Chains A and B, each alone.
Chain A
């Protein structure tokens, strides 16, 4: 068996007295999509935010390529090639696509000023691949459609050689056609050996896109299953009842 790309062991996170994430283990191998499932408030976003550096964990260890990783903030996560596409997209609405794509990692000129022309050039290149219809490079992203905004957020994750990608409900705000494009993109990224954690509500979509699924309830891990060995009903009862089909 290959070394897991990511292994999160015994992760814990609490807010006040509430245990948002309670001793959870998940892992991910290259070229694999692992669905993170659960109700609202089950702790799936919190678990992923510890990996992306948005939250600092209260306990547990994260291994990247078998080595212990120290992730205290989003900048740390980026050094491990962990990229995140947030449900809210996390775009600065008043800036244009290129500024958003390179936010926090601006390309600089020789004298240390931001090189807008080069960043726009790079943005044009990656957008030609992801969304050839994208043409509004000098407008603030607030002026873009939902799909265009999504493609800026995806471009940001893909451009910087992500090895580990966290997608938080990437299709929640999208139409049918746009959802299909995200599915195609996930397939393409899998082929490149990128590992993806996919947070999702839609059981049908999880069955379609994911290799494995880890289900959480009330901060605890119910279990991790191979998606093609279980039925949609099994997944539903894991989410709703917290019942692991392998336990019986």
Chain B
């Protein structure tokens, strides 16, 4: 209690540039690694890696794993693991495909292309994911079966429930509105993408401003004005740069022609259009924002991190840690259902092997993103960055022409090295 006064956080004698900006140095390291990776691949492919087309493809390939990785952060933070997300994705996908092609047409006379069909299918898919997740959580939280065992069993069960439901067949075609969630078949177009980008920039600046005002009203230290300005400018540049890149990817001439023909119109001479932001990426961004708010600004999120840090302390503080486990796994299941929408829409059908090995990619993304398996630590942004890094590695190596087995060897090695670096970093910074 009466120990020597320690240096206050707010005015340490030596503060470098990044500390003034209040950047998380670990996150900064990951962003640096990601940028470095992109530049190296771009150089090795003679500038083919960072083309609008490849950036577009890279983002839509990342969405499914990234969505689940945000949920996996909560699972791992509470000292659990979920090995069943890929299988759960398959079951959700199978249920949605069956709903569209079999149940709705045969029992309710809603065919494909009925305006309600995609939405009913999505609702059923998300609900089944959440229910299966909640069931896993109940086994883990209330019946105290270890999460590893419950989800290892679930991995076998749900992968094969999907198989059983569909007789192992590929199910398609799916509803065209449903397919819009897959990526290339559903984009916002350049105008709406710019509008959304500008809106996002305004929201970021507003949030920065209101957070600063809030701190001042409580007499807490704030960043210098130039730092705020630089941060706001940086965020705006990243957001608008990303939107600009996606907008620069032109829809091919033939495809445009078909789009006009489908509407019974003739395409004007010299008409061009960019794809803009894919709806699936928009969904991922919404999930990322929602999950970050849950993690940092709600009681639920606070209890997740408290339980991960010290389960006994959380229980003694009156937190119902069993129910919390059920909720965390239900949320994970819900997100696996959402990923199933994106994944099956991207493939334009449900295939029997959909989501195979996704559980490992998802866990790897979360862990590369700085989530500690010991619990209590992890960020949503980090997990998404982790998913992006893995996907870039994989597709970059494919473009460079690295053999498939070597690709997997590198990804596996990167996973272990990333965790090793993280442990070293934490030791040195004295972070828990």
Q: Is A135 an interface residue (CB 8 A)?
A: yes
Q: Which of B2, B298, B307 is close to A114, meaning CB atoms less than 8 Å apart?
A: B298
Q: Is A45 an interface residue (CB 8 A)?
A: no
Q: What distance in Å separates the Cβ of B215 from its nearest Cβ neighbour in chain A?
A: 7
Most B C-beta atoms less than 10 A away, residue of A86, A90, A108: A90
Flag if A103 contacts B376 (CB, 8 Å).
no
Flag if A95 contacts B306 (CB, 8 Å).
yes
**Which residues of chain B are within 8 angstroms of A84 by Cβ–Cβ distance?**
316
Q: Which of A52, A92, A130 is close to B310, meaning CB atoms less than 8 Å apart?
A: A92
Q: Which of A89, A95, A139 is close to B309, meaning CB atoms less than 8 Å apart?
A: A95
Flag if A90 contacts B313 (CB, 8 Å).
yes
Known: A113-B293, A121-B218. A94 touches B377 (CB 8 A): yes
Q: Is A136 an interface residue (CB 8 A)?
A: yes
Flag if A133 contacts B5 (CB, 8 Å).
yes
**Which residues of chain B are within 8 angstroms of A135 by Cβ–Cβ distance?**
5-9
Q: Is B323 an interface residue (CB 8 A)?
A: no
Complex: A73 Cα to B9 Cα, angstroms? 37
Q: Is B314 an interface residue (CB 8 A)?
A: yes
Complex: A89 Cα to B310 Cα, angstroms? 11
Residue of A nearest to B221 (CB): A138
Q: Is B404 an interface residue (CB 8 A)?
A: no
Known: A94-B308, A99-B306, A113-B293. A86 touches B1 (CB 8 A): no
Residue of A nearest to B374 (CB): A94
Q: What distance in Å separates the Cβ of B307 from its nearest Cβ neighbour in chain A?
A: 8
Flag if B9 contacts A117 (CB, 8 Å).
no
Indicate with 1 or 0, residue by residue over B298-314, a CB within 8 angstroms of chain A CB atoms. 11001101111110111
Flag if B302 contacts A74 (CB, 8 Å).
no
Flag if A86 contacts B2 (CB, 8 Å).
no
Known: A92-B305, A94-B305, A137-B9. A114 touches B310 (CB 8 A): no
Flag if A136 contacts B318 (CB, 8 Å).
no
**Which residues of chain A are within 8 angstroms of B377 by Cβ–Cβ distance?**
94
Q: Which of A73, A90, A106, A136 is close to B299, meaning CB atoms less than 8 Å apart?
A: A106
Residue of B nearest to A147 (CB): B1
Q: Is A238 an interface residue (CB 8 A)?
A: no
Q: Which of A95, A113, A120 is close to B298, meaning CB atoms less than 8 Å apart?
A: A113
Residue of A nearest to B214 (CB): A117
Q: Is A242 an interface residue (CB 8 A)?
A: no
Q: What distance in Å separates the Cβ of B375 from its nearest Cβ neighbour in chain A?
A: 8
Indicate with 1 or 0, residue by residue over B311-340, a CB within 8 angstroms of chain A CB atoms. 011111111000000000000000000000
Q: What distance in Å separates the Cβ of A169 from its nearest Cβ neighbour in chain B?
A: 16
Flag if A136 contacts B1 (CB, 8 Å).
no
Known: A113-B293, A114-B299. A133 touches B9 (CB 8 A): no
Known: A90-B313, A94-B309, A120-B218. A147 touches B2 (CB 8 A): yes
Flag if B376 contacts A94 (CB, 8 Å).
yes
Within 8 A of A (CB), among B328-367: none
Complex: A51 Cα to B95 Cα, angstroms? 50
Flag if A74 contacts B316 (CB, 8 Å).
yes
Within 8 A of A (CB), among B91-138: none
**Which residues of chain A are within 8 angstroms of B214 by Cβ–Cβ distance?**
117
Q: Which of A89, A90, A94, A138 is close to B432, meaning CB atoms less than 8 Å apart?
A: A94
Q: Is A75 an interface residue (CB 8 A)?
A: yes
Flag if A177 contacts B2 (CB, 8 Å).
yes
**Which residues of chain B are within 8 angstroms of A103 by Cβ–Cβ distance?**
302, 306, 313-314, 317, 319
Flag if B220 contacts A92 (CB, 8 Å).
no
Q: Is A65 an interface residue (CB 8 A)?
A: no
Q: Which of B307, B319, B432 is close to A93, meaning CB atoms less than 8 Å apart?
A: B432
Complex: A150 Cα to B306 Cα, angstroms? 18
Flag if A148 contacts B3 (CB, 8 Å).
yes
Q: Is A191 an interface residue (CB 8 A)?
A: no
Flag if B316 contacts A131 (CB, 8 Å).
no
Known: A99-B306, A135-B9. A92 touches B314 (CB 8 A): yes
Known: A74-B315, A94-B376, A140-B432. A118 touches B5 (CB 8 A): no
Residue of A nearest to B297 (CB): A113
Q: Which of A104, A108, A121, A182 is close to B318, meaning CB atoms less than 8 Å apart?
A: A104
**Which residues of chain B are within 8 angstroms of A54 by Cβ–Cβ distance?**
315-316
Flag if B1 contacts A74 (CB, 8 Å).
no
Q: Which of B4, B217, B302, B312 is close to A90, meaning CB atoms less than 8 Å apart?
A: B312
Residue of B nearest to A149 (CB): B1
Within 8 A of A (CB), among B241-289: none
**Which residues of chain B are within 8 angstroms of A150 by Cβ–Cβ distance?**
1
Known: A75-B318, A140-B432. A93 touches B2 (CB 8 A): no
Residue of B nearest to A54 (CB): B316
Q: Which of B3, B8, B302 is close to A147, meaning CB atoms less than 8 Å apart?
A: B3
**Which residues of chain A are within 8 angstroms of B298 by Cβ–Cβ distance?**
112-114
Q: What distance in Å separates the Cβ of B380 from its nearest Cβ neighbour in chain A?
A: 16
Complex: A103 Cα to B299 Cα, angstroms? 9
Flag if A114 contacts B302 (CB, 8 Å).
yes
Flag if B316 contacts A181 (CB, 8 Å).
no
Complex: A172 Cα to B9 Cα, angstroms? 29
Flag if A92 contacts B9 (CB, 8 Å).
no
Flag if B220 contacts A117 (CB, 8 Å).
yes
**Which residues of chain B are within 8 angstroms of A78 by Cβ–Cβ distance?**
318
Flag if B305 contacts A145 (CB, 8 Å).
no
Complex: A88 Cα to B313 Cα, angstroms? 9
Q: Is B430 an interface residue (CB 8 A)?
A: yes
Flag if A131 contacts B302 (CB, 8 Å).
no
Q: Is A164 an interface residue (CB 8 A)?
A: no
Flag if B297 contacts A114 (CB, 8 Å).
yes
A-B pairs, 3 with minimum CB distance: A75-B318, A92-B309, A94-B309
Q: 10 additional contacts, CB 8 Å, given A74-B316, A117-B214?
A: A86-B316, A93-B310, A93-B376, A94-B377, A113-B298, A131-B2, A136-B6, A136-B8, A136-B9, A137-B9
Q: Could you show 30 A-B contacts with beta carbons less than 8 Å apart?
A: A73-B318, A74-B318, A84-B316, A88-B312, A89-B313, A90-B312, A90-B317, A92-B310, A94-B305, A94-B308, A94-B309, A94-B376, A103-B306, A104-B318, A104-B319, A105-B318, A112-B298, A114-B302, A117-B217, A118-B218, A120-B218, A120-B220, A130-B1, A131-B2, A133-B3, A136-B9, A148-B1, A148-B3, A151-B1, A177-B2
